[in-house]
Amino acid sequence: MQAFDRELDVRGLNCPLPILRAKKALGDLSTGQVLKVVATDPGSVKDFQAFCKQTGNELLSHSDGPDFTFFMKKR
């Protein structure tokens, strides 16, 4: 199992809320720390992939539903 420094539960929220909450949570982390995000929005897979590409944060892994789990490392 992936180690992480902070967990964010955005289940039940739809785009763009999961990304906005994740962006805020990542802002509170230090470089190299890992954020775990749990979402239920199927669109969040593409959203988080695009978000990481745009921001330079690393998407370490993601798992598919019904709960989508993402691990992101802060740049």
DSSP 8-state symbol, 30: P
Give helix 44-55 / helix 17-27 axis angle, nearest 10°. 40
Q: Under 8 Å CB-to-CB from 20, ≥6 apart: which residues?
A: none
- The catalytic residues are 15
Residue range 19-68, pLDDT digits in tens: 999 999 999 999 999 999 999 999 999 999 999 999 999 999 999 879 99
Residue range 13-22, pLDDT digits in tens: 998 999 999 9
6-73 maps to which CATH number? 3.30.110.40
Domain limits of the chain? 6-73
Task: Compute the distance between CA of residue 65 and CA of residue 45 in angstroms, rounded to an integer.
Answer: 10
